C-alpha cells in the first residue's frame, strides 16, 4: 500500500475473512485433484491445478517460481546438512582412531613393563 493509506478495522477483518474463504476454497479444489489421483495428501501440483480450475491462471506462474525457489533452498539446506553430518562422522572416526591408538600405546607400555618385570624376576 502507498504511504499514508489507512485501513479500518472492518476492512482488515473483511480482507482476513475473504483470504480465509479463498484458502478453504483452494484447498477444497486441490483436495478434489488429490482424490482423483487416489491420494490423501495434497501436493504442489494439486494446488496449481486448483488455481487453474478456479480461473486464477495469473497466479500459476508466480506460484511455480516460488515453488522452484523453495525447492532449491530446501535442496541447499539438505546438502549443507549432509556435508555437516559427513564432517561430523569424519571427525568422530578420527577421534575413534586416536583413542584406539592411545589404547594400543597403553597396551604396549603395559606389555613392556610386564616383560621388564619378568626379566627382573
Q: Which residue has the higher pLDDT, 51 or 98?
A: 51
Percentage of the chain lying above the pLDDT 90 cut: 60
Rounded Cα–Cα distance for residues 65 and 91 (Å): 39
Q: Is the separation of the CB atoms in 49 and 33 below 8 Å? A: yes
Q: Is the pLDDT of residue 90 over 70?
A: yes
Exposure string of 62-94, with b = 16+ CB inside 10 Å and e = fewer, is eeeeeeeeeeeeeeeeeeeeeeeeeeeeeeeee
Q: Domain map of the chain by residue range?
A: 1-55, 61-120
Maximal CA-CA distance, the chain? 100
- Cell reading at 31: 483436495
Superfamily of domain 1-55: Histone, subunit A (1.10.20.10)
* Confidence band for 82, pLDDT divided at 50, 70 and 90: confident
Q: pTM of the predicted model, to two decimals?
A: 0.59
Per-residue pLDDT for 67 more than 90? Answer: yes
Amino acid at each position: 500500500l502507498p504511504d499514508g493509506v489507512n485501513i479500518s478495522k472492518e476492512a482488515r477483518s473483511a480482507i482476513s475473512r475473504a483470504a480465509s474463504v479463498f484458502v478453504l476454497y483452494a484447498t477444497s479444489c486441490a483436495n478434489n485433484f488429490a482424490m482423483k489421483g487416489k491420494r490423501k495428501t495434497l501436493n504442489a501440483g494439486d494446488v496449481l491445478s486448483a488455481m487453474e480450475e478456479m480461473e486464477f491462471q495469473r497466479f500459476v506462474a508466480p506460484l511455480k517460481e516460488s515453488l522452484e525457489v523453495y525447492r532449491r533452498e530446501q535442496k541447499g539446506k539438505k546438502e549443507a546438512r549432509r556435508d555437516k553430518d559427513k564432517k561430523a562422522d569424519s571427525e568422530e572416526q578420527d577421534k575413534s582412531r586416536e583413542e584406539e591408538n592411545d589404547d594400543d600405546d597403553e597396551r604396549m607400555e603395559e606389555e613392556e613393563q610386564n616383560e621388564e618385570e619378568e626379566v627382573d624376576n
